[in-house]
Amino acid sequence: MIRSISGLVFLVISPAWAIPPNPFQPHISLCESLATQLESWSLNGVITSTNTSTALMLSPQGVWRRIKQDNELFEGAQIESVGEGYVVAKLGPGCPISSYRWDIKGKTHAMDAGITSDAGAAIHQPGR
């Protein structure tokens, strides 16, 4: 009975592998697919210590991950370096783009951007 069920499953699945790809959809290479996946990640912070740097990145699924140098972000994308405000991922061999870099832009001291200081603006009147 088990042999007949497994044989039936094999007969149903094996023609699915033989179906040619859709000729009306553009062919996407592995390197283009990797670049598209890397674009959907975002770098939100880097914690630097004397020994190592750790990046805080947000995946396309909305999951936060701590990334360090030599970690694998996902299959085909190896983290090459993590520095102050940037992360570089190395793509697999054979890709025309050998690496991908994320930078933190405009976020340094962003909370202080709207603060202005003017000593003459406040009038101090004693006793009130």
Taking only the tens place, the pLDDT of each residue in 45-68 is: 999 888 889 999 998 899 999 999
- Strands 86-91 and 77-83: what pairing? antiparallel
Q: Give domain status of residue 22, yes or no.
A: no
Q: Give domain status of residue 85, yes or no.
A: yes
CA distance 104 to 107: 6
Q: Give domain status of residue 84, yes or no.
A: yes
Alpha helices in 1-128 (DSSP H): 2-17, 30-39
Q: Give domain status of residue 4, yes or no.
A: no
pTM: 0.59
Q: Give domain status of residue 101, yes or no.
A: yes
Residue 28: pLDDT band with limits 50, 70, 90 = low
Q: Give domain status of residue 5, yes or no.
A: no
The domain of 51 spans: 29-105
Give percent of the chain above pLDDT 70. 61
CATH number, domain containing residue 93: 2.30.30.830
Q: How many domains does the chain have?
A: 1
Q: Give domain status of residue 57, yes or no.
A: yes
